[in-house]
Amino acid sequence: MLFRQLFDRESCTYTYLLADEATKEAVLIDPVREHVDRDLTLLTELGLTLRYTFETHVHADHVTGSGLLRQKLGSQSVLSARGGAPCVDVAAEDGQQLRFGRHLVSCLATPGHTDGCMSFHVPDLGAVFTGDAMLIRGCGRTDFQQGDASTLYASIHGKIFSLPDSTKVYPGHDYNGRTVSTVGEERAHNPRLGGGRSVEEFSKIMGELKLAPPAKIAEAVPANQRCGLPLEVPRLEPSVGWSVVRSREGIPEVNTSWVADRRGSFRLIDVREAGEYHGAEGHIDGAELVPLKTLAGPAGQWDRAQPIVTICRSGGRSGSGAALLESMGFQYVASMAGGMMLWNDEGRPVQVDAVPAAD
């Protein structure tokens, strides 16, 4: 089997090329949009036909190249059925097997970093591609995108650590120059998941990380829910009075004055967490609390033609929410630029829930 490990320096993302040397059928795992030309050149030079692109999850730190590769080569994109990207060709289930040439790829659901994380086991290579679920001497964070420490612990111990010790582990990232490990090494030496650590110990470690959000999350998550393809902006009727502008990242935005002047003519969705919504910063009267990490679920039942404005603390999460809603087919959606911080700075009215008196 032909095998290449490729790298994106900006996000420290690994992309993997695998091919059957007899049939010349190939797959790419976690392609990066900025390196599509590199990957196309390599496929051409090696005389390969790209059959599938596999995504280990909906990434928050880079944009996938799967959509562009599909447009150029006719390949099929593969992602977990719980990945939240309706654009994919194959919504894979746990245990599903896909073939390229004479070789099989087994899909292993490994949620916990995100709900839709999937690792890919290639027995003929003696390798498993773990994405962000398990890294070399580490693992993916569990504090956003439906992350859950106990779920990730069960995924790694039940799916990855159950493979033979000699199975090579190829992660989605590495920030210290490491390229490969093995299941046996990680079971013994992974400081978060290995060495006999309990789920309680692991959950405590993950709860104390306090990591900053990924720099490209507002752009990357909604873009990856579209398979990395540009957003098709809906045509807006002049009668709606929808004064939307686009940020540099393509996020539709309205300003605080527009929101204040037109309240009641659109649905107001606050995508912060409950503690923020009910906290000292307050919330706008009439705003519905729907945290960003849960937004896709209830939004699936909403009227796609109803105007919606999303709100968060400063505009980042609401931008992601607006882009997500657009990707789901909502015709009139925008993020309130500046968020509740700017709204409060301007002295606009808010509702602040009463704090219970101390005993």
Q: Is the pLDDT of residue 354 over 80?
A: no
pLDDT at 236: 42
Mean pLDDT, the chain, rounded, equals 91
pLDDT at 235: 44
Distance from C-alpha of 220 to C-alpha of 60, rounded to nearest angstrom: 5
Q: Is the pLDDT of residue 355 over 70?
A: no
Distance from C-alpha of 68 to C-alpha of 65, rounded to nearest angstrom: 6
Q: Read off the pLDDT of residues 52-77 as tens digits, 9 standing for 90 and up.
A: 999 999 999 999 999 999 999 999 99
Backbone angles phi, psi at 309, to 5 degrees: -120, 130
Instruction: Give the pair of three-digit tokens for residue 320.
Output: 């992601």
Distance from C-alpha of 269 to C-alpha of 150, rounded to nearest angstrom: 30
Overall average pLDDT of the 316-320 stretch: 92
Q: Read off the pLDDT of residues 198-237 as tens digits, 9 standing for 90 and up.
A: 999 999 999 999 888 887 887 888 889 889 987 654 444 4
Distance from C-alpha of 254 to C-alpha of 257, rounded to nearest angstrom: 8
Q: Is the pLDDT of residue 297 over 90?
A: no
pLDDT at 231: 67
Q: Read off the pLDDT of residues 96-117 as tens digits, 9 standing for 90 and up.
A: 999 999 999 999 999 999 999 9
pLDDT at 329: 77
User: How many percent of the chain have pLDDT more than 90?
Assistant: 76
Q: Residue 358's pLDDT band (boundaries 50, 70, 90)?
A: very low
Q: Read off the pLDDT of residues 147-171 as tens digits, 9 standing for 90 and up.
A: 999 999 999 999 999 999 999 999 9
| pTM for the model | 0.69
- Please give the C-alpha separations between residue 350 and each of 278, 280, 340, in angstroms, as whole numbers: 11, 10, 9
**317 contacts 311 by C-beta, under 8 angstroms:** no
**269 contacts 321 by C-beta, under 8 angstroms:** yes
Q: Where are the beta strands (DSSP E) in the chain?
A: 2-8, 13-19, 25-29, 49-54, 76-80, 90-92, 97-100, 103-109, 118-122, 127-131, 134-135, 138-139, 168-171, 181-182, 245-246, 252-254, 267-270, 288-289, 308-311, 333-336
* Domains of the chain (ranges, CATH numbers): 2-207 (3.60.15.10), 231-345 (3.40.250.10)
pLDDT at 283: 96
pLDDT at 192: 97
CB-CB neighbours of 14 under 10 Å: 21
pLDDT at 209: 92
Q: Residue 311's pLDDT band (boundaries 50, 70, 90)?
A: very high
